[in-house]
Amino acid sequence: MFKLAIISPKGLYFEKDVDSLTVKLTSGYRTILSKHAPLIGALDYAPMHIVENGKTKYYAVHGGTISIKDNKVSLIVNAIEAKEDIDISRAKAAKGRAEDRLNKSDINTDVKRAELALMRALTRIKTYEEN
Ligand code: ATP
């Protein structure tokens, strides 16, 4: 067991003891167990899961950083939603808007912004549908 703290732009999302954390770094998926070696890494846009009291819980994570030291894991994320909090119709609508923007893009289109919106929407849909 180890302490996991998650901070989003809204503040502390939670801090609690968990058995394991499986999260996607830019270098690929990692499962973190207790007494992990110190680490700093970048988080990808992807589903994440934790095991807590033997129960698995799923989350959509939208990039950020991870740091591990002294059996404490901290995630600072751009945004995060628990699977049960995902509004799937909102995510599908956001996906459609971002795709339209990218398909019709012109000199005034903020392509990077639309790409990031699309990644958030796809991560929410994947978390909702695959787990
Ligand atoms: P939208 O265009 O639908 O607002 P977005 O990707 O631009 O989507 P964000 O700026 O990433 O939205 O998030 C704003 C807030 O709304 C965050 O707190 C985020 O957790 C929440 N949120 C966004 N989309 C969803 C969703 N589909 N289900 C649940 N919460 C969501």
Ligand 1 atom closest to the CA of 81, numbered from 1: 20
Task: Decide: 94 in ligand 1 pocket, CB within 6 A.
Answer: yes
Q: Class assignment of domain 2-83?
A: mainly beta
The pLDDT assigned to 131 comes to 72
Q: Is the per-residue pLDDT at 27 higher than 80?
A: yes
**pLDDT exceeds 90 at position 88:** yes
Give me the DSSP letters along 7-19.
EETTEEEEEEEES
3-state DSSP helix/strand/coil percent for the chain, to nearest 5? Answer: 30, 50, 20
The predicted structure's pLDDT at residue 105: 83
Task: Report the separation in Å between the CA atom of 34 and the middle of ligand 1, taken as the mean of its atom positions.
Answer: 32
Predicted local confidence at residue 86, as pLDDT: 97
Query: Rounded to the nearest whole angstrom, what is the distance from the C-alpha of residue 77 to the centroid of ligand 1?
Result: 13
- Looking at residue 26, its pLDDT comes to 93
Give the global pTM: 0.92
CB atoms within 10 A of CB 46: 21
53: Cβ contacts below 8 Å, ≥ 6 apart: 19
Give the Å distance between the CA of 91 and the centre of ligand 1.
Answer: 8
Q: Using an 8 Å Cβ cutoff, are 36 and 17 in contact?
A: no
Residues of the chain with CATH 1.20.5.440: 87-130
Shortest CA distance to 45 belongs to which of 14, 78, 71?
78
Homologous superfamily, domain 87-130: ATP synthase delta/epsilon subunit, C-terminal domain (1.20.5.440)
Q: What is the pLDDT of residue 103?
A: 93
Instruction: Kindly report the average pLDDT of the chain as a whole number.
Output: 96
Is 95's C-beta closer than 6 angstroms to any atom of ligand 1? no
Identify residue 51 by its one-letter amino acid code: V
